[in-house]
Amino acid sequence: MVSSSHEALHRIFQQDPGLFARAARHLGVAFPPPVSTVELSTDLTETQPLERRVDTLLQMNTEDGSFLLAVESQGRPAPDKPASWAYYLSYVYAKYRIPPVLLVVCADRGTAEWAARQVDIGPRQWCSLSLRPLVLGPDDVPVIDSPDDAARDIPLTVLSAALHRRDPGADAILNALAKALKGLSADDENTATTFIELTEQGLGATQAAELWRHLMAVDLSFFQSQTAQQLRAEGRAKDLLLLLGHRGVEVSEEDRERIVGCGDPDVLGLWFSNALTATSTAEVFASDGESGADAG
């Protein structure tokens, strides 16, 4: 699983392209919902010396025609980015001959304010090109803290959680999202695990991520897929390593790989209990119940 929250902020639009039209309403821009979409190559490299890639590129086909949606996840201001974005839009328009739209998604308010500025390219006497990205930041997507509202639009709730991950309302969003996911039928298990993973990624290294791992460790038992088991194991492995670090127990690279590679939540839970009093990783792993169960 990709650890960076960067991925979730654009992958959510791959999972549900219709989310763009719903989210854009909060920016005061009305786009028709797509009747079909085509995921295009994100490789915008034109020649060998320089490689350029947009985060997500979708062809959105609507009743009013088609447009290209380029989604960029931006973590902080970068002076060179507007020039790259202008290149992306010019290149895909020249390649596909379909009007492009740039959406920049930012979990940081300062970055969102920076990204929303219009950038004029050209000498002061004449502007040859203007870059006007649409920007979704924490102030542009509502806090969705009702389980009913979350169930009506789970992708938008995942985006809300990612953008408000450092805000006081994050806990309420995650509780609502957990209940909405629990309400999905067994037929939607694969979709649910995808949104669980995207939420984990989108929260990054925040306190909200710790709450989400706790919610999933408690409430994820209604999903029994291999993906769900893996997510539970990953959360417990992170908690175990964090505990060992706080207690000053030295963890070798080999021990770290053993913990991270363990796919059995029960074994990890046993190791966690041992780690509460252990003074070495040998004491953490010393248990009769281990007996090779951590091989997966």
Q: Would you say the C-alpha torsion 201, 21, 154, 143 has a positive or negative sign?
A: positive
Q: What angle do CA 225, 145, 27 make, to 5 degrees?
A: 105
In the chain, the percentage of residues whose pLDDT exceeds 70 is 87
Please check the confidence at residue 3 and state whether its pLDDT lies above 50.
no
> Looking at the DSSP assignment, which residues form a beta bridge with residue 130?
120
Q: Are the beta carbons of 231 and 193 closer than 8 angstroms?
A: yes
pLDDT tens, residue by residue, 252-295: 999 999 998 887 877 888 898 888 888 999 999 986 444 334 43
